[in-house]
Copies of this chain bind each other. A is one copy, B any other.
Amino acid sequence: MTLQLFAHPFSSYCWKVLIPLYENGTAFEYRHIEHEGVFAELAGYWSIGKFPVLRDGDKTIVETSAIIEHLQIHHPGPVPMIPADPDAAIEVRMMDRIFDNYVMNAMQPLVNNAIRPEEKRDPYVAEGVHAALDKSYAWLDAHMAQREQDGREWAAADQFSLADCAAAPSLFYADWAYPIPAQFEHLKAYRARLLARPSVARAVDEARPYRSYFPLGAPDRD
């Protein structure tokens, strides 16, 4: 039975799952949310209607981290996303949540607000989002500086992992919405390393045709 991924190429959380699929050359059917009838079919499996959603036979798996754990167990490839060592796995899962919660979700209110009709926008959103991202960027820069000193190029443990799958789209879009300040050179260098990774570069390229969708206005750069 072919794996089916209900996804959209511009969606940050869809990238998070596409990256491990591309890393491992895992075969799957890409069910593009904009294609006719696809969203209705997705909603039949997951009434919350968020994506990506993975169908594996008659099983529905939602939430990106759970999907990646499922892929690792049932469709393993050469690049495991969660280390076998229990402590390393905790470190990876902790950094996954840090990128999801303190970068991706922290930025989201800015995007949600921009989608609203102009007269219904909340004028106090940006201030809060910027304050939150300032803290996140500062902590992540110090974290990546320490990682570099330890001879590590990725976010957690000793390998490219689930944490980097979360980092790539969150740092990509957060830097568009509220640029990482120049002084955070370790974080900026990490973002550049992520974008140079072929699986991430592929996700970035597939999203190019949709850049006009970015509610805050996509800058003319990656």
Could you list which residues of chain A lie within 8 angstroms of chain B, going by C-beta atoms?
Answer: 47-49, 61-63, 65-66, 69-70, 73, 86-87, 89-90, 93-94, 97-98, 101-102, 105, 109, 116, 120, 122, 124, 135-136, 138-139
Closest to A105 in B: B105
Identify whether the interface residues of A are mostly helix, strand, loop, or mixed.
Answer: helix
Instruction: Decide: A66 and B93 in contact? CB cutoff 8 A.
Output: yes
Complexed CA–CA distance, A136 and B46 (Å): 10
CB of A122 to closest CB in B, whole Å: 4
Instruction: Decide: B124 and A48 in contact? CB cutoff 8 A.
Output: no
Query: Oligomeric state, in number of copies?
Result: 2
Instruction: Decide: A65 and B86 in contact? CB cutoff 8 A.
Output: no
CB of A104 to closest CB in B, whole Å: 11
Listed A/B pairs (30) with beta-carbon separation below 8 Å? A47-B135, A47-B139, A48-B102, A48-B135, A48-B136, A48-B139, A49-B135, A61-B90, A61-B94, A62-B94, A62-B98, A63-B94, A63-B97, A63-B98, A63-B101, A65-B93, A65-B97, A66-B90, A66-B93, A66-B94, A66-B97, A69-B89, A69-B90, A69-B93, A70-B90, A73-B90, A109-B109, A120-B124, A122-B122, A122-B124
